[in-house]
Amino acid sequence: MDEKTLQKYIDAGKIASEALHYGKSLIVKGAKVIEILDAVEEKIVELGGKPAFPAQISLNEFAAHSCSDLNDETVLSDQIIKLDVGVHLDGFIADNALTVDLSGEHSDLVKASRDALNNALKIIKPGVTLGEIGGIIHDTITNYGFAPVKNLSGHGLGEYQIHVPPSVPNFDNGNENVLKEGDVIAIEPFASTGAGIVQESSPATVFTLTNDSGVRDPISRKVLIELKKNNGLPFAKRWLEKEFGSAKTNFALRMLKRANCVEEHPPLFDQNRGMVSQAEHTVIVFEKPVVTTWYEE
Ligand code: MN
Ligand code: MN
Q: Is residue 84 among the annotated active site residues?
A: yes
Cα 12 to Cα 280: distance, rounded to the nearest angstrom: 15
Summarize pLDDT for 139-170 with one digit per residue, the tens. Answer: 999 999 999 999 999 999 999 999 999 999 99
Task: Identify any residues that bridge with 199 across adjacent strands, giving them in sequence order.
Answer: 269
Number of H helices, E strands in the chain: 7, 17
Cα 235 to Cα 63: distance, rounded to the nearest angstrom: 19
Q: Tell me which ligand sits closest to the C-alpha of residue 86.
A: 1
Q: Tell me which ligand sits closest to the C-alpha of residue 184.
A: 2
Active-site residue, from 21, 163, 212, 264:
163
Q: Who surrounds ion ligand 1 at CB < 5 A?
A: 84, 95, 97, 280
Task: Identify any residues that bridge with 86 across adjacent strands, giving them in sequence order.
Answer: 53, 95
Active-site residue, from 188, 241, 270, 281:
188
User: What percent of the chain stands above pLDDT 70?
Assistant: 100
Q: Is residue 265 among the annotated active site residues?
A: no
The CA 86 to ligand 1 mean position distance, Å, reads 6
Using only the alpha carbons of the chain, give its radius of gyration: 19
Task: Identify any residues that bridge with 99 across adjacent strands, giving them in sequence order.
Answer: 82
Summarize pLDDT for 170-222 with one digit per residue, the tens. Answer: 999 999 999 999 999 999 999 999 999 999 999 999 999 999 988 999 999 99
In eight-state DSSP terms, residue 287 is S
State pTM to two decimals: 0.98
pLDDT at 296: 87
Question: Mean pLDDT across the chain, nearest whole number?
Answer: 97
Q: Per-residue pLDDT for the chain (297 aa), expressed as one digit of tens each?
A: 999 999 999 999 999 999 999 999 999 999 999 999 999 999 999 999 999 999 999 999 999 999 999 999 999 999 999 999 999 999 999 999 999 999 999 999 999 999 999 999 999 999 999 999 999 999 999 999 999 999 999 999 999 999 999 999 999 999 999 999 999 999 999 999 999 999 999 999 999 999 998 899 999 999 999 999 999 999 999 999 999 999 999 999 999 999 999 999 999 999 999 999 999 999 999 999 999 999 988
Q: Is residue 280 among the annotated active site residues?
A: yes
SS3 readout for 22-84: HHHHHCCCCCEHHHHHHHHHHHHHHCCCEEEEEEEEEECCEEECCCCCCCCCCECCCCEEEEE
Q: Answer whether 22's CB lies under 8 Å from 59's CB.
A: no
